Amino acid sequence: MATEAFEEIAETFDFLDDWEDRYRHVIELGRAMPSMEEALKTPFTKVDGCASQVWIQPALDGDGPDARFDFKGDSDAMIVRGLIAVLHALYSGLTVQQVAKVDALAELGRLGLDEHLSSQRSNGLRAMIVRIQSVAAQSAGQ
């Protein structure tokens, strides 16, 4: 259950043979992502469990399980900003009910990220996924 934006990333990854090219692409995705306002970078939006500084600010359009999910995110590390951009492509625009059903690790596995990230980055990525799914589940009333 991936979004069209995520499918585009997956297609690009299929086209890029070399992991270094894929790594650069993730960084470019992070550079293209709008920066998060400094006022939103608070302890409330900070994601624990990441080696880098990471902030995620959810934004919902509507109420209940049919509310549309979106978020702003930022990091002080470019590769992590890129991972946030990948997660944004994976989740943005889904209903909060759909967000809870996404198997993020399987979808990200299609990109080969699980094989090429350090254990610290992988743990941080999982922490971001847990935060996103937790917000969505709370908003869906689950």
pLDDT digits (tens, 9 = 90+) for 41-92: 999 999 998 889 999 999 999 988 889 999 999 999 999 999 999 999 999 9
What architecture (CATH level 2) is domain 4-140? Alpha-Beta Complex (3.90)
Residue 71: predicted pLDDT: 95
- Residues paired with residue 56 on neighbouring β-strands, in sequence order: 73
H or E stretch at 37: none
137 has a pLDDT exceeding 90: no
**In terms of DSSP bridges, do strands 54-61 and 68-75 run parallel, antiparallel, or are they unpaired?**
antiparallel
Nearest 5°: CA angle at 53, between 27 and 44? Answer: 125
Name the residues annotated as catalytic: 50
DSSP state of 67: P
Give the predicted TM-score (pTM) of the model.
Answer: 0.93
Q: Are 48 and 123 in contact (CB under 8 A)?
A: no
